[in-house]
Structure formats: structure tokens, C-alpha cells
Amino acid sequence: RKHPTQQADILKQLNRLGETSFKLGEVEFDIDEGMMLPASELNTLRRSLVESIEKLRLQKYYHPVVKSFVIEKQLKELFKTGERKTWRPRISARVSGFEEAQAALEAGVDILYVGGEVFKPDTGLNFQQLQEIVGKGEKSGCQVVYAIPRIFHESQKEIIHQMLNLARDVGVHALMTGNVGGIQAAKDFFWGKLLFGDFGLNIFNNAALRVMKLEGMAQVTLSPEMTFEQIADMKSDGL
């Protein structure tokens, strides 16, 4: 037997927001007495409202697709010099496994970042594998940079030192870290080789560049939020 839809029935269906980031607020009712609204229609309405709100929230983060020729033009403007030269971008890749590293070297990358976070079932690179990758990199002209995890706890300092010892023994080109704790770990270990900064350091201006230079950074990754114009305005300060 069918019954007219009650306000409580409507609230029940609209409030089924599950794992969304929303919660039901104040609801105003303007329905005819005796109207029957199927639960399926209310569910469809709820999903449609959630999708519409999500689209509105994402609009301010929307970035239009940039054509390749526009990027090429901006790169030429960014790196133009007084002399006409053929500019070739350096290709880099970041991997965590041995097979990935081999594939990247075979593809002809210029810089290979290895290490960092390793998630099960992967086990990361052992000494022999890392040594082989470094050797192949030297033959092909590829710089192999060892990355320590972006996040680690104070209690894991000994593990980080083991990683640094491994990296130094196999002769990697440089060490890369994405947090201040990694910089301090390298100092405590007396790393003694090149130190690179990952994007996690959020280098966004000249002041940050100067701080990283004082910390011994030889190279940093700029914040991915920067525009070409902002990058062009920055002074390298020797980095």
C-alpha cells in the first residue's frame, strides 16, 4: 500500500550522504499535500545535488588545457639567450624498483631518482641492484640521485643513516630530500656529496632559495604551483 511522502521520508533519503564530504543542513519544504515521491527519485536528486556542488567547488581550481606549442613558446622565452642555440631539455624519472630503473635507463633519461617511499609488495633496491644501476648510469651519462623518504619519524633515524650509507657506498651522484629533517639527517651523517631539494620543500621565492643555499643545497625543485612568469622573475642565487 502506498502512502503520501512525509517530510521525515525526504530527510532520510537526502541525509544518505555516505562517504561524501557533505552533511545535510537546513531543508525547506514546499510540496503539495498527499504527494508521493519515490525513494529512487529522491536518491537521484541527492546524487545530482552532490555532483553539482562538487563541480562548483572545483571550478576555482580548474586549469585549462595548454597546447604544446604554447608551452614550447614559453620555454623558449624563459631560456632564451643572446646566442641562438639548440636547447634540449633534460629528462628525469623517479622510480622505486629495479625493473623500473632499468627501463628508465634504457629509455635514455638524463637524471634518475631512485629510492624514496617503497610500498608493499615492493622491497626497494638492494646494494647489488643500486650498484648496477649506478654503473649503467655512469656508462650512459645518466646521473643517479638517491632519494630518502619524504616523511620519516625521529625513531627511524638509524634506518635513514643506513640508506645514506648505502647511497654513499655505491657512489650515487647526489642525495635528494623533500623535508628539513632530511637536510639535518644528511648533516648528522656528514654526507659530503651533492644535496638536492625535492618539491616538498615548497621553494616559492628567492628567500627560500637563499635559505636552501645556506643549508648546502646544490639544486632544488621549485614549487609546482609557480607560473612561468614567477619562475622567470626569480634569481637563481647560484643554485
Structurally, how many domains does the chain consist of?
2
The answer on 136 and 18 residing in a single domain is no
Q: What is the mean pLDDT of the chain?
A: 83
The answer on 42 and 134 residing in a single domain is no
Residue 81 domain-assigned (yes or no)? no
Angle, helices 39-58 vs 7-14, to 10°: value is 50
Sign of CA dihedral 184, 163, 117, 89: positive
The answer on 101 and 27 residing in a single domain is no
The answer on 175 and 93 residing in a single domain is yes
The answer on 156 and 118 residing in a single domain is yes
174 or 121: which leads in pLDDT: 174
Does residue 1 have a pLDDT over 50?
A: no
Chain centroid to CA 201: 11
3-state secondary structure of 204: coil
13: CB partners within 8 A, 6+ apart: 39, 42, 43, 46
Buried b (16+ CB within 10 A) or exposed e, 226-237: eeeeeeeebeee
The answer on 118 and 227 residing in a single domain is yes
The answer on 30 and 115 residing in a single domain is no
> What value does the mean pLDDT take over residues 134-150?
91
The answer on 186 and 128 residing in a single domain is yes
Residue 124 domain-assigned (yes or no)? yes
Bridge partners, 175 (sequence order) = 146, 195
Structure confidence by residue, pLDDT tens digits, 185-205: 888 887 888 999 998 898 888
Buried b (16+ CB within 10 A) or exposed e, 180-189: ebbbebbeeb
**Residue matched to cell numbers 651519462:** 141
Does residue 139 have a pLDDT over 90?
A: yes
Q: Residue 120: which domain range?
A: 89-233
